[in-house]
Amino acid sequence: MRNAEISRKTAETAILLSLNLDGKGNSEINSGCGFLDHMLTLFSKHSKFDLNINCKGDTYVDYHHTTEDIAIALGKAFKSALADKKGIERYADTCLPMDECLILSAADISGRGVLRYSVNIPAQKVGDFDTELCEEFWQGFVREAGIALHIRLLDGTNSHHIIEGIFKSVARTLRKAVSIDSKFCDEIPSTKGVL
């Protein structure tokens, strides 16, 4: 099983996180932010990654440190769980409808952390969650995970739906990208021989 556990403590957050890439989409999320809990729960469900997160953060300030640090921990766990990346599909994409929204995500598990994020979220907040933190989350994740991730909003107006669509689309893209190609399970999917 491809799994990892991360413990990360700073002056701003204390995080315990476990990830199983070969799971069933089970999760237990406690970030201190209800909206972020919702996004991470559906991320787990749609990726089929088992994900447990417990974060104690300085949420009396806002949710910035909590969101970014959970993303960093998740990215580290993702990279660790993939190990040498033998046999993975590597590339994947998903065009996902979420009511009136349409989200395109595409990923390359390349070893290089790059985010291209073309999303205009109309509202500044969903509940008490700053919508700009959606981009911060994915930036922190890709930097640590070592993947190139493209996220595009193709259509949509509801801020909640846009962010939810992003988390679902990326979840499904990553699920496909980490899947094992049984015909090439002993090969690194790169001419370099390493990812």
Instruction: Delimit the domains of the chain by residue range.
Output: 3-184
With H, G, I as helix, E, B as strand and everything else as coil, classify residue 174.
helix
Q: Determine how β-strand 27-30 pairs with β-strand 50-57.
A: parallel
Q: Quick check: 31 pLDDT over 80? A: yes
With H, G, I as helix, E, B as strand and everything else as coil, classify residue 27.
strand
Question: What CATH number was assigned to the domain covering residues 3-184?
Answer: 3.30.230.40
As a whole number, mean pLDDT of residues 111-137 equals: 97
Q: Residues of the chain with pLDDT > 90: what percent?
A: 92
Using only the alpha carbons of the chain, give its radius of gyration: 16
pLDDT, tens only, 36-65: 999 999 999 999 999 999 999 999 999 999
Q: Quick check: 94 pLDDT over 90? A: yes
pTM: 0.96
| Cβ contacts of 153 within 8 Å, gap of 6 or more | 101, 102, 103, 118, 119, 120, 162, 166
Cα distance between residue 66 and residue 76, in whole Å: 15
